């Protein structure tokens, strides 16, 4: 390939520890099996720093729909009750096809 035709890779910003842990926990919670059973066990990894772990667990703890149980092995059991879309305040029910539906995570 000629030199002038080479493309430079797009700039990628490195994720912070909190973002990385938040994405991991969010994907665990949103997994279809976890959604069916309405619980997930989050294990703390060696790469999870103290500050990052405390911040993400604090966000989860402040989420009223979630019930957290902190275990001796530093894992956390996250449970939630079944709720209908009408009961949740993080959804916007679209009555018109032009309206947007907000599907934000509760934390």
| Sequence ranges of the domains in the chain | 17-87
In degrees to the nearest 10, what's the CA dihedral of 33, 40, 84, 94? -80
- Tell me what pLDDT residue 82 has: 81
- Tell me what pLDDT residue 92 has: 57
The beta strand positions in the chain, using DSSP E, are 39-42, 66-70, 76-80
What is the secondary structure of 30-54 as a DSSP string? Answer: HSHHHHHHTEEEEPPPTTS-HHHHH
Q: How far apart are CA 60 and CA 81, in angstroms?
A: 15
CB-CB contact of 90 with 106 (8 Å):
yes
Which CATH number applies to 17-87? Answer: 3.90.1070
Q: How far apart are CA 34 and CA 27, in angstroms?
A: 10
Q: How far apart are CA 79 and CA 45, in angstroms?
A: 20
User: Which positions of the chain have pLDDT values less than 50?
Assistant: 99
- Tell me what pLDDT residue 13 has: 83
């Amino acid at each position: 390939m000629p030199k002038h035709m080479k493309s430079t890779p797009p700039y990628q910003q490195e994720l912070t520890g909190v973002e990385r842990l938040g994405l991991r926990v969010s994907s665990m919670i949103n997994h279809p099996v976890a959604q069916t059973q309405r619980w997930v066990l989050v294990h703390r990894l060696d790469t999870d720093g103290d500050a990052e772990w405390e911040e993400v667990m604090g966000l989860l703890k402040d989420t009223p729909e979630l019930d957290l149980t902190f275990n001796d092995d530093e894992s956390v059991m996250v449970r939630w009750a079944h709720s209908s879309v009408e009961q949740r305040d993080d959804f916007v029910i679209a009555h018109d096809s032009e309206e947007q539906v907000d599907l934000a995570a509760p934390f």
